[in-house]
Amino acid sequence: MFDPTLVVIVIGSLGVLLLIASIVMGRTATSPVEERLGRYAESGGVVGAPFAEEETPDWSHQAADFLNRLLEGTDIFDRISRHLARADIKFRPAEYLILIAGMGILLFFIGLVLSSSVAFAFLAGIFGLFLPPMFVVRAQHKRKVKFDNQLGDMLNLMVNGLRAGYSNMQAMEAVSKELPPPISTEFRRVVQEMQLGIPMEEALDHLLRRIDSKDLDLVVTAINVQREVGGNLAEILDVISYTIRERVRIQGEIRALTAQGRATAWVISLLPVSLMLLLYLINREYMMLFFNPETRACGIPMLIVAGTMVVAGFSIVQKIVSIDI
């Protein structure tokens, strides 16, 4: 005899997997028109083009288009677009929200199958909801660090170009051709926007929207001030380049000195989680005491308190080893 509950769980899990797969395939199979338009998009995402008459959009695209129309112009829409642009992820906000919901549902069913406990499945579903934002934040941080490390070379190239007689736009175009991504990609977008008729100030504001960097903000401010009041931009950028290089050098030394503290925070924070998973595999009955109807009134609050303490300890250690320059 088949268990109806198990059949429903399996079908639901397959449906969520198909949903996620269709979204990913839709992102990787963009038309040439969409790719070209996406290069000029302010947020860096792919601009959706109307479907051709012979093409039939699937239900996932229809749901994404409906959510985009529903959320367009709202604060949450702009905030999600900004986060995705800073991480250089070619997702629309609606698709990102569908992915978050899909991950939560998927991990809920997986937790329900593994533990046969609704409470454990609920916690797994909540964890699944946080997985896509964690990935986006991680991608933002890695891209920002890489961009900041390339900013000194970019300024040197611009200074040399300006001293050789280049205009600001020609110097930025040289940066987009000579340096590696992500800085070349971002300045290529700036040059393309300026070629389309967007003023330089607005194009640089779009760059700041995509890259949340204090050093870049200083450079953009210097360029805008020089365009308004005049002055030797090459000398100004040369001084800023020296300041940024020294800051990067000092930050590298600080990261080397605080590497042990950051590693300790990760080890201590992940140790209780790893121990719980190990005990669950070795002695499942013992770990299920936290979720049994007779003992969950005490077990679940204990897990919540323990998780809160782990997160608080990790945050405190990160604050201690985080030194601003």
State the Cα angle at 150 between 264 and 81, rounded to 5°. Answer: 80
pLDDT tens digits, residue range 245-266?
A: 888 888 888 888 888 888 888 8
Quick one: the chain helix, strand, coil %, rounded to 5? 80, 0, 20
pLDDT (tens digit per residue) in 122-153: 888 888 888 888 999 898 888 888 888 888 88
| Position 243 pLDDT exceeds 50 | yes
Task: Judge whether residue 26 has pLDDT over 60.
Answer: no
- 241 versus 25: the higher-pLDDT residue is 241
The answer, yes or no, to whether residue 322 has pLDDT greater than 60, is: yes
Neighbours of 157 (CB within 10 A): 20
pLDDT-derived band at 42, boundaries 50, 70, 90: very low
**The predicted structure's pLDDT at residue 80:** 83
294: tokens are 């007779």
- 149-172 mean pLDDT: 88
Mean pLDDT of the chain: 78
Q: What is the number of other CB atoms lying within 10 angstroms of the CB of residue 46?
A: 19
pLDDT at 321: 82
* Rounded to 5°, angle at Cα 222 from 217 and 223: 100
Domain ranges in the chain? 4-43+60-141, 143-250, 259-321
More confident residue, 105 or 296: 105
pLDDT digits (tens, 9 = 90+) for 173-190: 898 888 888 888 889 999
pLDDT digits (tens, 9 = 90+) for 199-234: 988 999 988 888 888 888 888 988 888 888 878 888
Q: Specify the pLDDT at position 28.
A: 42
Q: What is the pLDDT of residue 279?
A: 87
Structure tokens at 125: 């579903």
* pLDDT beyond 50 at 48: no
Give residue for tokens 């605080």: 258
Q: Is the pLDDT of residue 89 over 50?
A: yes
With a cut of 50, say whether residue 198 has pLDDT above it: yes
Instruction: Give the domain 143-250 fold.
Output: Receptor-associated Protein (1.20.81)
**Do 269 and 314 touch, CB atoms closer than 8 A?**
yes
